[in-house]
Structure 1
Amino acid sequence: MKNKMSIGIFDSGIGGLTILKEIRKILPRENIIYYGDFKNNPYGIKTTSEIQKLSEFIVKFMIQNHCKVIIIACSLMTAASLEYLKNKYSIPIIGVVEGGVKAALLESKKKKIAYIANPFTVKTKIYENTYKKYSEDGSLYGIPCKKLCALIESGWENHPHRLEVLKKCLEKIPKDTDTLILGGTHYPLIKKDIRKFFSEKIVDSSRESVFELLNILISTDLFNKENKKGSVDFCINGDTTLLLNRLLEIFIEKFKNIFSVDF
């Protein structure tokens, strides 16, 4: 049955684990395939065409492995590939930008919103273009944060100068900003530290993408109705060590199905 098919999540690294964690809380019966493309990371130095080709390969892999919905768990990959993939495939594909923008507009009283993201994402203006679809008022200000993802990937707590790097990024937020979008799926992992430098409202794009998934499952009646907890299969292109370390830090739940894929 199609209801028992999996939800596919893919990212260039560990950022998508924040989405996986939310799905396990909100939709525990769903089966999940998580694809981490560690081998081709970093994506930020690639061209749009290169990112689209890599993303399409992963989507084909997800379809072959019986996914019913796919989440691009990376703002950079969303910016480069979402519309390209949606135009080529009929399977529902969700990015991590639109939900965050819509939630920020609901949260913000002054419509003075900022977002932090990878420089590639900021350069594409995907957040600004999405903002204009839903509001003609206020402002949205993008802040490129070049080093944050790499520090989080390699173990945030291991870096003695991490708060200095974070402060340098966040001090660029305009003074009148009342809402900050975490425009990368890695950033919720350091939300407590972000709070040290920004006391206003924070929108987690990872969480918002799960609500978008929920709406798709409701409208298509594709909920997994089995009365048991769903499975999680990790398919890792590259070294699995990094994933294993982060799973221990982020989840109480223990995962057994971790597979190496080489493409």
Structure 2
Amino acid sequence: MQRLTYFAASLLLLLLGACTKEKTAPGTASLTIINAIPGSRSLITNFNDGRPINYYLANEIRYNTFLLSNRISSYSGRTPLALYHYPDTTDKSKPMFNLVVDLPIGSMHTLFLAGTLTQPDTLFVRDVIPYHPLGDSSCGFRFVNLSPGSAPVKVTIARKNGPPVVSTLPFKRVTGFLNYPVNAAQEDMAFEFRDVATDRLIATFPVEGIHNPVPGTNSPWAYKNYTLALVGLPDGTNGQEQTILSISY
């Protein structure tokens, strides 16, 4: 009888353990959110299907800014996401965005919040991040146009002849990652965003310190990947000028 009781208790523990394993979360995805809406206040995330949340659970997404709080790795699958202007996150507030994002387990995505305050828009892309093996000192850059109302732009490298890096980049268009060497022979460079039709220089992003005596040593660029986003308004003023935002991956 005692043996049967011991056996039954052991079987119950095994069953409970199996149930516990079945309920374990299978994994998450990575979601980067970028606020490129000129004139926007900070936006607060709500993954609670629109219901009110506590502020300490939210991420603050500032305009034209990339911080660690822009990257979220707690969710997967079809995920509801509402974004509210700070501090309006009560049950009587209306979100600026009310979305459902599809985040397969293990994937990486970036949600670009674009457009204007009166006509907000989004660009949701799956991130395919290049791998830079040790011994192959390199870095990756991709480019996106998030400037509402801008004509198509091109991307060139300052003081370098030849075809542009990107020949045309309309609003809400993003490129793939392009690899560049990081070594002692590589000179510092600067990416230029220019108007396709007029060649007018819009904004410049310098890539300084890309070369080092020992390849890849102490370089801020080696083995890393970046998105360079053109944000702001054509002829914008008071913090809404066209600039380039760097997003690291």
Does the pair score TM above 0.5?
no
Q: Name whichever structure is richer in helix by fraction.
A: 1
What's the TM-score, normalizing by structure 2? 0.26
What's the TM-score, normalizing by structure 1? 0.25
**Which protein has greater RCO, CA pairs closer than 8 Å, 6+ apart?**
1
Larger C-alpha radius of gyration, 1 or 2? Answer: 2
